């Protein structure tokens, strides 16, 4: 692999959501701060929405790690795959709370066990936070069951909070009249945006430095321009293309990633913008000017 060739300790563009590589850029910084402030208020649902590959799971893990370091005040539960029935969701939540209970338990007994555990944590002044990743995949009935579950409360406070991480499809799902009560309980919401051109450069530099690189800048300006255009600023796509571009450069024995290396990576990757996409606006503008000039010539001759 190219690690030794480029002086790296580890792979800089792995797809694993390793919080070691978390970059505190504007969008993520705002989302992180909003989450921490919202959780300190201890009420309502929190929703984080972003397109595929924008770093929702990375942000989720970052917040989880922060709360898990504060075990005196927080208890966290994490459900990464919420394609569950209502009872399946309750069982998963109970398991995260370390509640020992039979899988065949009845609904009433299951709900009672969860309630008792939540009351126990509340008596210890511990705040329970349930994180649900890929929440857009939850069945409608399960979302409604989750809302009903949050009705568990004392006279003073809710016994737990819910943070939903999802693709924009969740907003479509929540727009249904049957889920309007859940939608009204979302007190804080944030949308993660894709990176702009400067953001892509900062992202690449940060991940390379975190992986141990300390040499001259590794990606040329044209390579970064093309990387931005073909990735649309989506971190996951940036990771895929950058990793492959480094492999191409290594295979050719070169020390800097050039635009041709990123083009080769894009050509080898399904679902990314074709190699010519970055130049399409220029081509379209040139074509429009050419057509305009031709029309002006003929129309000018026609009206003479």
Q: Which residue has the tokens 């309007």?
A: 180
Poorest-pLDDT segment among 33-37, 162-166, 273-277? 273-277
Q: CA triplet 41, 46, 47: central angle to 5 degrees?
A: 160
Right CATH for 3-18+195-273 from 1.10.10.10, 2.40.10.10, 1.10.3110.10, 1.10.8.60: 1.10.8.60
Phi, psi of 292, deg, nearest 5: -60, -40
pLDDT at 274: 58
* Average pLDDT of the residues in 27-37: 89
Contact 91, 106 (CB under 8 A): no
Least confident of 54-63, 142-151, 272-281: 272-281
pLDDT band at 29; cut points 50, 70, 90:
confident
Beta pairing partners, 219: 257
Domain layout of the chain by residue ranges: 3-18+195-273, 26-192
Report pLDDT digits (tens) over 213-267. 998 999 999 999 999 999 999 999 999 999 999 999 999 999 999 999 999 999 9
pLDDT at 284: 40
Q: How many CB atoms lie within 10 A of CB 212?
A: 13
Q: Is CATH 3.40.50.300 the classification given to domain 26-192?
A: yes
Q: What is the DSSP letter of 51?
A: -
**Local confidence band at 101 (pLDDT 50, 70, 90 cut-offs):** confident
Residue length, the chain?
A: 304
CA nearest 48: which of 37, 64, 66, 32?
32
Nearest CA to 97 among 83, 126, 123, 118?
A: 118
- Coil, strand or helix at 290: helix
* pLDDT computed for residue 26 by the predictor: 79
Q: Are 202 and 25 in contact (CB under 8 A)?
A: yes
């Amino acid at each position: 692999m190219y690690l030794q060739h480029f002086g790296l300790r580890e792979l800089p563009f792995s797809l694993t959501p390793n919080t070691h590589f978390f970059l505190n850029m504007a969008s993520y910084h705002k989302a992180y701060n909003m989450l921490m402030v919202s959780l300190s208020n201890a009420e309502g649902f929190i929703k984080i929405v972003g397109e595929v590959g924008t770093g929702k799971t990375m942000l989720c893990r970052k917040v989880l790690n922060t709360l898990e370091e504060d075990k005196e005040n927080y208890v966290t539960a994490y459900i990464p795959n919420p394609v569950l029935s209502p009872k399946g969701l309750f069982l998963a939540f109970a398991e995260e709370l370390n509640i020992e209970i039979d899988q065949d338990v009845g609904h009433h007994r299951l709900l009672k066990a969860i309630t008792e555990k939540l009351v126990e944590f509340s008596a210890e002044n511990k705040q329970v936070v349930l994180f649900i990743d890929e929440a857009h995949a939850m069945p409608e009935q399960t979302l409604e069951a989750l809302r009903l579950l949050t009705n568990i409360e004392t006279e003073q406070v809710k016994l737990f909070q819910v943070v939903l991480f999802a693709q924009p499809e969740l907003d479509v799902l929540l727009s249904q009249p049957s889920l309007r009560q859940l939608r009204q309980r979302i007190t804080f919401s944030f949308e993660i945006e894709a990176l702009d051109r400067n953001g892509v450069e900062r992202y690449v530099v940060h991940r390379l430095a975190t992986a141990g690189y300390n040499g001259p800048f590794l990606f040329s300006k044209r390579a970064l321009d093309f990387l931005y255009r073909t990735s649309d600023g989506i971190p996951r796509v940036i990771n895929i293309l950058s990793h492959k571009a480094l492999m191409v450069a290594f295979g050719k024995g070169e020390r800097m990633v050039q635009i041709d290396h990123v083009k080769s990576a894009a050509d080898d990757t399904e679902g990314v913008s074709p190699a010519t996409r970055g130049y399409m606006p220029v081509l379209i503008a040139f074509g429009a000017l050419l057509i305009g000039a031709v029309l002006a010539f003929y129309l000018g001759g026609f009206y003479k």
